[in-house]
Amino acid sequence: MDNAQDARIPVIVGVGQINDRPKEDAAGLDTLALMKAALESADRDAGGGFLAQLQALDVVDQMSWPTMTWPSIEKIAPRLVEALGIAPTHLAMTPDPSGDGPVRLLNEAANRIASGEAEIAAVVGGEALRTGAKRAALEAQRGAATGQAPRQDLLREVAEQHFKPILRKYGLLAATDIYPLYENACRAAWGQKLAEAQLESALIWSGMSTIAADNPDAWIRTRYTPEQILTPSADNRPVTFPYNKLMVANNSVNQGAAVIVTSLARATAAGIAENRLVYVGAGAAAHEPDDFLKRDRYDYSAGMEVSLTEALAANGLGSTDLDYVEFYSCFPCIPKMARRVLDWPLERPHSVYGGLTFGGAPIGNCMTHAAATLVNRLRTRGNHGLLYGNGGFVTHNHSLILTRQRALAARPPRSYDYQREADSRRGAIPRLIEDYSGAATIETYAVPFDRNGEPRFGTIIGRSVAGERFLCRVPREDKAGLAFLVSGANEPVGKQGAAVPGPDGFVYWMH
């Protein structure tokens, strides 16, 4: 055994997950308490003693508790180390709660071990949206100020504060508005009929519900058939075409998760058995333009492709070598796109913890739960697992390999930045015109539903005859136009029509 080399081999020794389900939601833990409990659980899983000697702590930002939100580094992280009675030399937090954040932080923790910067590092996050929302409602009922707890539609309110006026005008503010743009574009590009594309989503999501049913750390442990995923009901209402509630991330959770990484030498000295060790391989990251209107297309992501393929290449693996994958699953379009990059069979599981609908979607910390579950899977069976996290709106991509093979972790610290490669694969970005009028075709679209299951309106991303991009809407009054967008009888993407001035922006007429 080479002690010098072992001191630079990153290995996961402890994982912890918390599902806080108080009898009364308002009595639940806040995000700080969830993070503390998750770290303590991870320390117990490692055999104890690691948390007290922690040298590097990275925290996934949260949004469910506004009194701990921006600038979070001045509030949560110092309060967390104070509550734990520890003094890490490195303390940092992600700039926002983004789904790729935990994978990046875990990659960076492994690099700190590999560089000798730290011997013990940890990643932690937590969200208490369920408890926070209940406390907000109680505060509102009492007529008191609601600054101590989140509002009911926090995600949309945050988006409205940062998005430009054109997006507010045409109703593209939240993830439920934007991810359908990719779903509908992909279906058309892949030559699928609506029923075929929906069945693919339902099969993947039904499989994730089965995974969650067998996972004691999942939030929803109910098995759903593909038919139940597909069929609208009181508990599965249409959200935004073509997604029902059981196809989208479930943020109404109180969850925390943590991972402790150390060196192989330190793990060996602590007497941790080899079958408890999971090594951290190399990772890869790349991103799309932050402005989703400045994407080259909506049926492909160069950043996703490069992140997935380069992570495998950096570890000398192919997709057939993987025993497990966790494809980020806020909406079906993401795992559907990812599985095509890796040629991942539809019948194989796309998640280890149950995905963001059933495993739980604590905003930016979902992949910490996935990492913790993957560690436990690899401790009992298999050699390699892949974590793929997505943040923003198909914007940020980070992939990382966890493995039982020491050789994949015996490496110097590696850069995970593959942005140049992603940029080289991206096509030209069309010019955006905010006041286009004239003949056009539909590039992609979204149709949000009200709570009665009726289309509220349609948002069209269109292309002019010259190829410029523009936004317009199909108004609620245009029943025939909305029916065309959601019926599945014909494919709307590529449909010719015209953008014309309307009472509130431009409208799209197809007939």
What is the per-residue pLDDT for 160? Answer: 55
Nearest-angstrom CA–CA distance, 272 and 43: 12
Is 75 inside any structural domain? yes
The whole-number average pLDDT for the span 138-149 is 60
| Residues 382 and 500 occupy one common structural domain | no
Domain assignment of residue 413, yes or no = yes
Looking at the structure, do residues 345 and 410 belong to the same domain, yes or no?
yes
Q: How far apart are CA 55 and CA 445, in angstroms?
A: 48
Which pTM was predicted?
Answer: 0.94
Same domain, 476 and 384: no
Tell me the mean pLDDT in the region 306-319. 98
For residue 441, the model assigns a pLDDT of 96
Q: Let me know if 456 is exposed, middle or buried by CB neighbors in 10 A (0-12, 13-18, 19+).
A: middle
- For 129, counting Cβ atoms within 10 Å of its Cβ (0-12 exposed, 13-18 middle, 19+ buried), the class is buried
What is the average per-residue pLDDT within 87-103? 96
323, part of any domain: yes
Q: Which of 167-171, 324-328, 478-482 has the highest mean pLDDT?
A: 324-328
Claim to verify: residue 285 and residue 326 sit in the same structural domain: yes
E strand spans, 22-76: 56-59
Q: In 392-419, which positions are buried (b, 16+ CB within 10 angstroms) versus exposed (e)?
A: bbbbbbbbbbbbbeeebbbbebeebebe
- Residue 136: per-residue pLDDT: 78
Q: Which two tokens stand for residue 19?
A: 């599902």
**Given pLDDT bands bounded at 50, 70 and 90, which one contains residue 144?**
very low
- Give pLDDT tens digits for 234-263: 999 999 999 999 999 999 999 999 999 999
In a domain, 474, yes or no: yes
- DSSP bridge partners of 459: 446, 473
Q: 228, 376, 179, 403: which is closest to 311 by C-alpha? A: 403
β-strand pairing of 396-403 with 384-391? antiparallel
Residue 67 pLDDT exceeds 50 = yes
Same domain, 256 and 279: yes
Q: Is it the case that residue 72 has pLDDT exceeding 70?
A: no
User: Band of the pLDDT at 1, cuts 50, 70, 90?
Assistant: very low
The closest of 461, 396, 375 to 110, measured between CA atoms, is 375
Alpha helices (H) in 315-451, listed in sequence order: 333-342, 366-380, 419-425
The pLDDT value given to residue 140: 74
Task: Specify whether 460 is located in the same domain as 365.
Answer: no
pLDDT value at 104 more than 70: yes
How confident is residue 161, by pLDDT bands cut at 50, 70 and 90?
low
Q: What angle do CA 297, 300, 305 make, to 5 degrees?
A: 135
Domain presence at residue 140: no
CB 449 within 8 A of CB 243: no
Q: What is the CATH number of the domain that holds 484?
A: 2.40.50.840
Q: Does residue 154 register a pLDDT over 50?
A: yes
- Domain range for 70 is 3-131+251-425
Do 344 and 468 fall into the same domain?
A: no
Give yes or no: residues 356 and 470 share one domain. Answer: no
pLDDT number for residue 74? 57
pLDDT given for residue 3 in this prediction: 76
- Give tens-digit pLDDT for 188-227: 999 999 999 999 999 999 999 999 999 999 999 999 999 9
For the chain, the domain total comes to 2
Q: Could you tell me the CATH number of the domain that includes residue 340? A: 3.40.47.10
Strand-pairing partners, residue 22, are none
